[in-house]
Structure 1
Amino acid sequence: MPFFTQSATFSDLWPTTRGHIVDVIENGKYSHGRKVLELESALAAYTGAAHVVGVNSGTDALVLLLRACGLAPGDEVVVPAFSFIASASSVVPAGGRPVFADIEPDGYGLDPDAVAAVAGPRTRFVMPAHLFHQPADLTGLLAVARRLGLTLVEDSAEAIGMRHDGVHAGLLGAGGVLSFFPTKTLGALGDAGAVITNDPEVAETVSALRHHGRFGPTIDNFPGIATTTGLVGVNSKMDDVQAAVLLAKLGRLDADIRRRAELADRYARGLTGVPGVRKLPSVLPRRASVRGVFYVYVIEVDRRDELAAHLAAHGVGTETYYPVPLHLQPCFADLGHRPGDFPNAEAACRRTLALPLYPDLAVDDVDRVCDVIRSFQTGGHA
């Protein structure tokens, strides 16, 4: 079975999707048009954000959010050593310098105490990433940010549907982002992303930056060719075709989230007590009410790479999240980090393995994956 597919979901949604796409074609505006506005409004209603700004990708969303929040050249941004590369690489084109900190060993989120330990006189921002199935410790991180005078922005690219005390992830600080990469909980058929924020100035600046820095009146009351270029921006407009796909899928998002939770529970029952499985995912008790969402199902195992090969030999696709910690990536060699600097992040990189988890997956498929893992750990054959 593949690590991810949405063929059945897309087949079911094709009549609704087709209607949205026909609307785009008949309107004649294929990028940055009315369908994008419609999606932004629907996402604002879903997340509770005062403002949603659609862009070309989740990575662009991070870059533009940091710029809109006032990141100045040379400002430091504390980011986790364990995350997707964009959590750190986005800081550089925004003009800043990433500073790595370790993660909590159980939740994979940025450790508030580690943030306090690495923050220095040039540190201006802290940017946790909400990974896999739950938000980082936002209570602790907000307390550190207030104490040190830092702006908190959230890499909530994986976190649609996640909430902290009823507030959607991405809206606890100055703003957050969403990624609609096809494998995400709400995925497009290509790249797309969004910035979410309750700050009107941040939203206005991101809206300008995504369209070459243009402010001012627009054509036909939707984003077109604005009259004033007030900032040096980029071309990060969202395609209306991707917005059409996302609008069709947004209507079943909560059902998909429930299905993901059911499959995760099936995995938990099938893998509990299996030798060599060091850790199964769970939503950690926090100082706040947390609603988790299973974007991927990540376990920690001994002999991770051997297990991945064993699963592949039995037709089961997996992904490694993430094989190299960010502080040891070659592109950040100039920061001078060495193995052992962030032990929790490095341990996670050695042990974590993501198993198939998506609404099209059948319960029998989950049972099959569990059987193959059990056969590897016990030395038998599935």
Structure 2
Amino acid sequence: MSEAPVPFLDLPALHGPLYPEFEAAYATVLRHGKFINGPEVTAFESEFAAYCENVHAVGVGNGTDALELILLGLGIGPGDEVIIPANTFIATAEAALYVGARPRFVDVLPDTLLIDPAAVEAAVNEKTAAVVGVHLFGQMCDTEALAAIAAKHGIALVEDAAQAHGARFAGKRAGSVGVASGFSFYPGKNLGALGDAGGVVTGDADLADRIRRTGDHGRSADSRFHHNLVGRNSRMDSVQAAALSIKLRGLDTANAGRVRAWEQYKVELPDTVRLVARDPRAEAVYHLCVVEVENRDKVCQALTEAGVGWGLHYKTPCHVDEAYTEYRESLPVVEAAADRILSLPMSPTISESQVSRVCEVLRDVTGGSSG
């Protein structure tokens, strides 16, 4: 009898126990009819700001909008440069380009694959307006070093926290360090909606107000018929906010399930598979379990044949992707890692036997021994 498949992320298992609460919340929204920016959005914004140990949160359409609205709110645009790690989802770079700024890609640290503060320092020039510290794979980057660099040069530190809901670095929670932080609530995130949604968290009341009004067509604070900002449409809907409030209550427990799985991977992965490191100052929440392997195509084929899910985050670094060739430069660490990285199954509900099964397949295909 063949082994049961191991899904990359098991959302049905995560959501199953929450069905009654989801259905009740949806019924409530149906009854009051305030589908956009309803009372559920206000409630979630307050809850999530507090969870991030900050003051203000603004619900927006998605995580990409969150980053773009932050840069717009900071007045960043043509003539400015925004420093971004090349190892990130393309949305980080899109946000800079869509406000008219130039993305300045920098390399990452070889152990964590997170933005290298020394590379950031070297990239700062008279055009630099901001650095985006991307918290990747569920681990916050070195925000202590980035904050010091930002303060030294008078530039903004923006957190891209799309993969780090609940993570900490040196005791500070994701969303509490930079001038503002962009979150994605895409369904697969640690805190995922039941569709697209995003949020901005900040301690700056004026910035929060500008972002909120810009995302609501630039309406003034005193009249929905008066528009004193050039705006756009990026608002959170009430159903998604209600679902996020429900899932927020269990986020720490869900993250603990991810930590448990990562710790088991750390013990059982063969010595031929390198687990991307955790900084000792970080409390990671393991949105992804990323490893480096030789002969990745062969390994992926073996996983597929064994019914084990896998992913690549990210196969093509931003600075060498087709649409971004004019920003290309030599970034050897991220370029070398791109051919080796592999994301293993990770979910709050993944079982010990499933993790062991993944490690067994990896031992067989790589010829390694238990760690």
Q: Which stretch of structure 1 is more off in the superposition, 159-168 or 259-268?
A: 159-168
Paired letter, 2:200:
V
Question: Could you tell me the TM-score, scaled by structure 1's length?
Answer: 0.92
1:356 maps to 2:345: yes
- Within 5 Å, give how 1:1-40 maps onto structure 2: 1-40=6-45
Q: 2:272 aligns with which of 261, 273, 276?
A: 276
Distance 2:240 2:353 in 1: 32
1:244 to 230, 242, 245: 242
Aligned position for 1:221: none
Equivalent residues in 2 for 1:85-234, closer than 5 Å: 85-217=90-222, 226-234=224-232
**Percentage of identical aligned residues:** 40
1:322 paired residue number = 314
The answer for the alignment partner of 1:222 in structure 2 is none
Distance, in Å, in 1 between the alignment partners of 2:80 and 2:41 is 32
Do the aligned partners of 1:102 and 1:344 also contact (CA within 8 Å) in 2?
yes
SS in 1 for 2:290: strand
Q: Measure the CA separation in 2 of the matches of 1:379 and 1:283.
A: 22
Say which is worse superposed, 55-64 or 115-124, in terms of deviation. Answer: 115-124
Could you give the per-residue CA deviations for residues 174-230 of structure 1, whole angstroms, max 9, x where no partner exists? Answer: 110111111110111111110000001110011011111112236xxxxxxx23211
Gaps of 5+ in 2: 1-5
Say if 1:3 and 1:356, in contact at 8 Å, map to a contact too: yes
Shift of residue 275, structure 1, vs aligned partner: 4.0
- Determine helix, strand or coil for the equivalent of 1:142: helix
- Check whether the contact 1:275–1:377 (CA below 8 A) recurs between aligned residues: no
TM-score of the two chains, using structure 2 as the length reference: 0.95
CA contact (8 A) 1:133 1:283 kept: no
- 1:75 paired with 2:80, answer yes
Letter in 1 for 2:245: L
Change in 2 beyond 3 A, CA 1:18/1:8: same
Instruction: Report the Cα offset of residue 292 of structure 1.
Output: 1.5
Aligned-partner residue type, residue 227 of structure 2: T
Deviation at 1:66, TM superposition (A): 0.8
The aligned counterpart of 1:299 is 291
Structure 2: how far apart are the matches of 1:269 and 1:167? 28
Shift of 1:3: 1.1
Give yes or no for contact 2:271–2:368 (8 Å, CA) kept in 1: no
2:366 pairs with 1:377 = yes
Unaligned runs of 5+ in 1: 219-225
Tell me if structure 2 keeps the 8 A contact 1:261–1:294.
yes
DSSP 3-state at the match of 2:97: coil
The aligned counterpart of 1:84 is 89
AA at the equivalent of 2:315:
P
Q: 2:331 aligns with which of 329, 334, 342?
A: 342
Count of residues paired in the alignment: 364
Paired with 2:321 and 2:262, the residues of 1 have a C-alpha distance of 31
Tell me the distance in 2 between the aligned counterparts of 1:28 and 1:275.
Answer: 56
Per-residue deviation at 1:133?
A: 2.8
Ranges of 4+ aligned residues in structure 1 off by more than 4 Å = none
Q: 1: distance between equivalents of 2:173 and 2:254?
A: 17
> In structure 1, how many angstroms separate the alpha carbons of the residues matched to 2:279 and 2:171?
16
Task: Give the deviation of 1:260 after TM superposition.
Answer: 0.8
CA contact (8 A) 1:52 1:194 kept: yes
Is 1:177–1:194's contact at 8 Å kept on the other side of the alignment? yes
